[in-house]
Every structure is written in structure tokens, then in C-alpha cells.
Amino acid sequence: MIVVAVVGPTATGKSDLALDLAAALGPGGPAAGGPVRGRAPAEIVNADAYQLYRGMDIGTAKVPRDERRGIAHHELDVLDPHEDSSVARYQSAARADLDAIGERGARAVVVGGSGLYVRALLDEMNFPGTDPAIRSGLEDRAEREGRRALHAELARRDPAAAEAIGPANTRRIVRALEVIEITGAPYTANLPRQQYVRPAVQIGLDCDRATLDARVEARVAHMWDAGLVDEVRRLASPEQGGTGPGLGTTAARAVGYAEILAWFRGELGEDDARTAITANTRRLARKQMGWFGRDPRVHWLDAGSPTLLDDALAVVAAADAGSLPRPGEGPVRRTLGA
């Protein structure tokens, strides 16, 4: 069964559409034509890097448990805030979720705006390990022979990687040679490709800049009123200005949390922190649109359309029927990433 992914910038209503799709694609939903014996309920798989964390609820716009309509959600609340997230760990766990959902005969609806996590789940993307001995040896060679010597070796072993990396980035040259040594394959063979590992369709939500900016401002106001500051204080350690166990390196970088932590440290005032959250959320939305906008496989819909669910279901039906245009052939509407 084709995996449905709802992607796009923050504050466009991805979670709401994912819930609507999961309900519609379930056994009693309109897309099923009424109750269907044997059809399993659809299930949702999170692809937002910060919704993985327990307790980071308000600032990540996590759907409260009592508003999930009884629909199973996966990859929510699987890490403590002091832990650092790993795309490789997420890929392994979330792909296992997709396997299990498929074995139950259910439809998986992936939702999130973390582009790398979406790609890691849906696309061909490998994460070669590391070898401290190999890396140390390469770093020693870079010191003795110079990075240009290593770059020349990379050019012999993987010309495409050498051209992409250039001779000035020692760290990336070392990593590329390390991967070649570990895998026995060119470094470029391990780079992500826009190739689904299982049948999938991506639905992107988009809206014009002014509308998105207004949505972001409203979202930040709602989060502030809902207790975002108290949430950060409960999670942050005393050294971070809070009363909790502490936020790790990854969690502390999340928009909404980083700015309040800066306020706690005395680097920003309260009003400045709130203003910074709004500005950085807008910046994040632009970045997300740039990421997803470069993927020609995304089928873009107007987030404010009164027929949004019907439009999304039509995309899913076309994907199921194999009648969607191939990448680059269909119209791709872009307003934010242009």
C-alpha cells in the first residue's frame, strides 16, 4: 500500500491534514466508500525531529493525545530531551514502523517538516558507520601531506565526490575517504537519491508569504499563551535557568526553546525572546520550503483551500491508480521557495 507523506513548511496545517487523511483512509472513511471489512485503521508516523522528544509538546505543536481521534501515532515521545537525536536511529525505527503498519494491512500517513528525516524514511539514504582508526590515520596524513594530497587521492577514487567537495574542506575530504575505505564503494554511492524505497506519494502544503507569516505569528502567540515558557523551564536544567533534567544539544537548538533559554541566560529580554521566536519560525518556514520545493515529486496543494481534504484524497487516489505525473512532468506550484 502506498505511503502518504504530508510535508511542507511549519504552520501550514500538516498535522490537521494528516489526521483528516488517516480518518478518511480508514475503514469507515469516505475514501473507503463506507465501512470495509478487513481494512485496518490508518496510522500516522511522525517526521518532525523535535516531536521525537518527550515533554516538548507546546513548542513543537505536537497534537495532544486526546485530539488524535484514536488514530495510532508513531515516533512521538521516543527520546528524552537530554538525548541527541540521530537521523540513522530515526530511519531504522520509523522504517520498522512502516513495515509493521503494512503487515497490519493499514495505510501509513507520514507527517512532518524535517526534510532530512522525511528523506531518510522514504528515500534511498545510507548512513555508513565510522572507524576511528581509519579516520585518525587520514587526519594524520592531512597534517603531514596536506589536504590537497588527500583531495588528489579522492579525485582518483571518486572524481564526482572530489569535484563536489573541493580541496579546501579537510573534514569532508577525510569523511569521504573514510566512507570509501569502510564500504569499498565510492562516497557518492552512499549519498541520498530521490528514489523511494517503497511506493510513496508526497503531498506538500503551501501558501503565500503574507498568509504564512500571519499563521506563524498566530501560532507563536498561541504557544506563548499555552505555557511555552513554563514548558521550557520544566525541561531546562538549573544551569540552563530551569528546574528540570536539562535539554541536550539537539533539543536546545529547537526554535522556541533556544530563544527562551537565551532569555533565561540573560542574553535576551522576554519581549526580545518572543520576537526572535516569531522571526526564526518564519526563517525556518522559508528553509523548509526551499528543501521540499527542490523535490519535483511533491504534489503541492493550497493550505487554505476549502477543498483541501478532497484535493489530497484525489492525489492519493491517483497515486494508488498509478496515474500521477512523473517527477518534473506535472505542474509544481511554488510561492514560498521561488
Q: Which residues are annotated as a binding site for substrate?
A: 10-15
Question: CA angle, 337 as apex, 334 and 338 as ends, to 5°?
Answer: 70
Assigned C-alpha cell, 217: 505569528
What DSSP letter does each residue of 173-186 carry, written as one string? HHHHHHHHHHHSS-
Strands 3-7 and 108-111: parallel
Q: Which residues are annotated as a binding site for ATP?
A: 8-15
Give which of 37, 83, 110 is closest to 246, Cα–Cα: 83
Sign of CA dihedral 161, 167, 169, 171: positive
Q: Which residues are annotated as a binding site?
A: 8-15
Residue the block writes with cell 487554505: 304
Give which of 48, 96, 53, 112 is closest to 78, Cα–Cα: 53
Give which of 15, 21, 14 is closest to 41, Cα–Cα: 21
Rounded to an integer, what distance in angstroms lies between the CA atom of residue 170 and that of residue 172? 6
Q: Cβ contacts of residue 305 below 8 Å, gap of 6+?
A: 311
Rounded to an integer, what distance in angstroms lies between the CA atom of residue 13 and that of residue 114? 15
Is the separation of the CB atoms in 231 and 56 below 8 Å? Answer: yes
Strands 73-74 and 108-111: unpaired
Rounded to an integer, what distance in angstroms lies between the CA atom of residue 179 and that of residue 185? 8
SS3 73: strand
